[in-house]
Every structure is written in C-alpha cells, then in structure tokens.
Amino acid sequence: MEDSELIALATRVRERAYAPYSGYKVGAALLGVSGQVYTGCNVENGVYPLGLCAEKAAVAKAVSEGERQFAAIAVVTEDGGTPCGACRQVLSEFGLDIRVIVASMSGEIRTFTVRELLPEAFTLACR
C-alpha cells in the first residue's frame, strides 16, 4: 500500500475524532503485514488521562482482530505533530522498525521509524 493511501485513510478517520477539549483531532491508519489497514482516531475525556490516542485506538483494533505485525502507520494532525511518548512505546511493543508517516493537513509529510522516535525503547529484551 502506498503511503499516500494510508495518509488518505488517516485523514478521513481524523474527522471522526472526539476532541471537544483540545480541538486537536488526530487520525491514524495502521498497516498490518497482512495488508489489512486498521484506523483509529483520538477520543478525549473530561478526565484527561482517560482519553485515547488515535495510534493506540488503531493498535487496539488491530490486535483485537488478530494482527500482531505491522509495517507502517500514518498519523495525520493539523500541524504534523508526532505520536506522543505513550504511543511510541505502544508501537515499540510490535516492532522498532515500523515506519511512522507523519502528515499535516497542509501536506507536509515526514517519515521515521519507531526506533528513531523512541531510542532506548523499553522492550522485551529489557525485561
């Protein structure tokens, strides 16, 4: 699947985000090695720690469907913000070489690996 297709899916699901507190909508499209794509959007809560990030929503959806290996994730925000630290750690659980495609609504695109976003990740090897 092309990066542009993942970005388009993340952009579409971003519109479903529930972000009444921050107004910061995030969409994610996670590509499993099977070729299946799992989308997620952020879901805020008045008790902030109970909110759910788009990336974690996509991972939870994928895992609940039996997918455990991922090739890439596209994350779309207004300003091209990268995944938060918690999302970086969640993604690292499934592979440090997952490509993370970060796009802004103005069209700026940057690509990283989870390893680049989270050096010294806490992994199974650390336990």
What's the domain count of the chain? 1
- Would you say residue 127 has pLDDT above 90? no
Report how far residue 38's alpha carbon sits from residue 117's, in angstroms, rounded to the nearest whole number.
Answer: 21
Residue 29 scores a pLDDT above 90: yes
Strand order in the sheet with 70-77: 37-41, 27-32, 70-77, 99-104, 109-113
| Domain of residue 73, residue span | 3-126
Rg (CA), the chain: 14
pLDDT at 70 over 80: yes
pTM (predicted TM-score): 0.95
d(CA 88, CA 51): 16
- Quote the pLDDT of residue 96: 96
The CATH code of the domain that includes 40 is 3.40.140.10
103 pLDDT higher than 80: yes
